[in-house]
A and B are shown apart, each in its own frame.
Chain A
Amino acid sequence: MPDELSAADIIAESAGPKAVAETDRAPSEEPEQFSPRLANARDMIITEHVDKWFGDFQALDDVSLRIKEEEIVVILGPSGSGKSTYIRCLNRLEEHDAGRIVIDDIELNEDVRALQAIRSEVGMVFQQFNLFPHLSVLSNITLGPQKVRHMPKLEAEALAMQLLERVGIPEQADKFPAQLSGGQQQRVAIARALAMQPKIMLFDEPTSALDPEMIKEVLDVMQELAESGMTMIVVTHEMGFAREVADRLVFFDEGALVEQGTPEHFFTNPREERTKLFLSQIL
């Protein structure tokens, strides 16, 4: 088994960078359309020609995307299209095999200091919440600030309570994750990520594991967060959220960035056949 994998890895590594060098194409075939409110904003995330392989399966194929400060980007695509892999590469839960990723002027490379710096600037919310089941809600939120930022306990707890107020469940502070509903757990997870005072928030299908009646409470929190000026990248199938909140939609298929544009562009006049097919299936 490992032998096969390593052989495939070698092929992937030799093929990846070469392909980029040969084609040298523009970040996207289509000019990026930024919302007018972001005209003068600086680039928060720059990804150029990013490739990612799992064995001999190419999960990301030459993905280039620039995201502005305070921009809300929603990533759409069928399952297996690489959209989760893309945002997981942004805080290095997955390592990209080729291309460049720059977050807030820090290049993501072999330097472990860069990794630490980026992880404390990028918050992440997972589909399965991934709260720490052995810690209370409050401790889940204070863990990062106390251990990574060396924040005094009282200060961290005050911050945690403030965040729990913000996501609407201060009364759950002393409970354990297993005692909460899915929607409440996901809101705690958002508070946990916010406690590190990140500049960017990544959402990996945050409502996909929730019962329908709990989706709204999570989306409301995300919308409030978007309005507060957070830079957000959201992988989701919630078209209502995409239409109302996003500055830009990005469509992935088979690991490649197929089309991007404003919500209006997507829902009225998508250009690519694959985009049209996908939208017709989920709308």
Chain B
Amino acid sequence: MSTQAPAPPSPAPGGPAPAGDVPLFYRRGFRRLLQQGLYVAATALLFWYIYDALNLREFGFGFLNDPAAFKVANQWLIDVDGVTSSRIEMYLVGVWASLRVVFVAILLSTVVGIVVGVSRLSSNWLVARMAMLYVEVFRNTPLLVQVVLVYAIFLVGAPIIQEVLNIGDFAFLSNRGLAIPWPVPDAGWWGAPDWFVGVWVALLIAIGAVAMTVRRQRQVRERETGQPHYANRWAFGIFAVGALVTFIVLGLPVSIDRPYVEGTRYLEGMVIRPEFAALTIGLTLYTGAFNAEIVRGSIQALPRGQTEAANAVGLSAYQRMTLVILPQALRQMIPSITNQYLNVNKNSSLAYAVLYDDLFRVAGIIQNKAGHALEMFFVIIVTYMLISLVISALMNFINARVTRVGV
């Protein structure tokens, strides 16, 4: 290279050399253009190679509309027969199954995280040590092992269906799952049609809105007058009375369906299957351990002076926690907790290990039957990304709310 390009002229003592004197190859603008040009060319080459090698001329999603011809378990609230249903419908059943696990595991792992995290800071020796033991066990072992272990415990430890454990004729436990009572539409007093349930739910939402408005007003008044206005009690009371009155007026449109065992099957009620339970419990325990560390770390990261100042002002322990410590700790907590929630979403694909028909497993079945692996993986990746982005968006919304200042 040095033989081709002449040596750059040494800069004039008074300032940079005029542009005309610098050979093209050494000019900064030319270098930038050259680098970007090479990058564009390499990228184009890569994509052309992929297109050519994978024969993407046949890339398309038409196969998803064909009949599925397979069945999945755990199709709660969605009714597909697996014969005439299309593959995309079956896939959506899988997505719905994943969402259920993710939602429940996120909720439970948050509760576990807060309880265990605060317990680790307890001055009670036993409580603190138990919390530490829990965190160290579940943080330092693979999630896959935990999920499979819970599943194995369920299958081996729970009785077989012939010897089902009858919990007061109310719930039944066997290695086919836990059957519990569940609300279903009911004719009630004067033969209410099924859609009365919808009416009741709509009314409940309206009553909830009223209760929240009253709560808000009473909070404002409490702040303005300094006198206690029991906002939460009022809101709860309004909702409870409203729910009861509308329930009676609509003629009891909902009844509780109690499960029973017939032969080797559960009938009616709601069955929490071992696969769902194992995956949810595994995710909860594992993520709960990480959440606990985040909660503990965020509280410990606050300067001691904050606690002392709150004490010196005369706040009670509860006021200190809710008005001074948590508002500041939550700011630190939420970004890390969000990461854990995204991990719950991604780790839910371990459903594969316990044969729970989540989106990844259903997608695998579709791909087995129809081929189109590339398209299927494209769909899977986009689905997980969408769920993650929704979780992130919700958490950003919550973050903006909890960090908003107001006394």
Contacts and interface: CB of A to CB of B under 8 A. Distances in A.
Interface stretch (A69-77, A141-149, A162-170): A141-149
Contacts of B125: 2
A123 B226 CA distance: 21
Contact of B226 (A2, A122, A136, A155): A155
B405 A139 contact: yes
Interface in A186-209: 192-193, 196
Interface in B303-331: 303, 305-306, 308-316, 319, 323-324, 327-328, 331
B226 A143 contact: no
B217 to A, nearest CB: 14
B223 A146 contact: yes
Contacts of B225: 152-153
A93 B311 contact: yes
A14 interface: no
Contacts of B405: 134-136, 139, 176
B232 interface: no
Contact of B314 (A120, A139, A176): A120
Nearest to A142: B407
A150 B314 contact: no
A130 B224 contact: no
Contacts of A136: 405
A274 to B, nearest CB: 30
A154 B151 CA distance: 59
A34 interface: no
The size class of the interface chain A forms with chain B is: 35 or more
A48 to B, nearest CB: 23
Contacts of A91: 311-312
Contacts of B4: none
B314 A93 contact: no
B45 to A, nearest CB: 52
Contacts of B407: 135, 139, 142-143, 146
A123 B227 contact: no
A144 B223 contact: no
A80 interface: no
Given A93-B312, A144-B315, A147-B323, A130 B305 contact: yes
A153 B324 contact: no
B403 interface: yes
Interface string A229-267: 000000000000000000000000000000000000000
Contact of B313 (A128, A139, A148, A155): A148
B226 A130 contact: no
Contacts of B331: 134
Contacts of B228: 150
A173 interface: no
Interface in B211-262: 223-228
Contact of A196 (B311, B314, B328): B314
B227 A116 contact: no
A157 B227 CA distance: 16
B321 to A, nearest CB: 12
Given A139-B407, A146-B223, A130 B315 contact: no
A126 B309 contact: yes
A100 interface: no
Contacts of A131: 309
Contacts of A116: 314, 316
A227 to B, nearest CB: 24
A196 to B, nearest CB: 6
A196 B315 CA distance: 11
A182 to B, nearest CB: 14
A180 to B, nearest CB: 16
Contacts of B312: 91, 93, 119, 122-124, 126, 193
Contacts of B303: 128, 130
Contact of A147 (B305, B309, B319): B319
B357 to A, nearest CB: 45
Contacts of B316: 116
A134 B405 CA distance: 6
A38 interface: no
Contact of A130 (B308, B319, B328, B406): B308
Contacts of B305: 126, 128-130
A119 B227 CA distance: 21
A126 B309 CA distance: 8
19 contacts: A92-B311, A93-B308, A124-B309, A126-B308, A126-B309, A130-B306, A130-B308, A132-B306, A132-B310, A136-B405, A139-B406, A148-B319, A151-B226, A153-B224, A153-B225, A153-B226, A155-B226, A193-B313, A196-B313
Given A150-B228, A152-B226, 14 more contacts: A2-B125, A91-B312, A119-B313, A126-B305, A126-B309, A130-B305, A130-B306, A132-B324, A134-B328, A139-B406, A143-B313, A146-B407, A148-B315, A152-B227
5 nearest CB pairs, A to B:
A130-B305, A130-B309, A144-B313, A124-B312, A152-B226
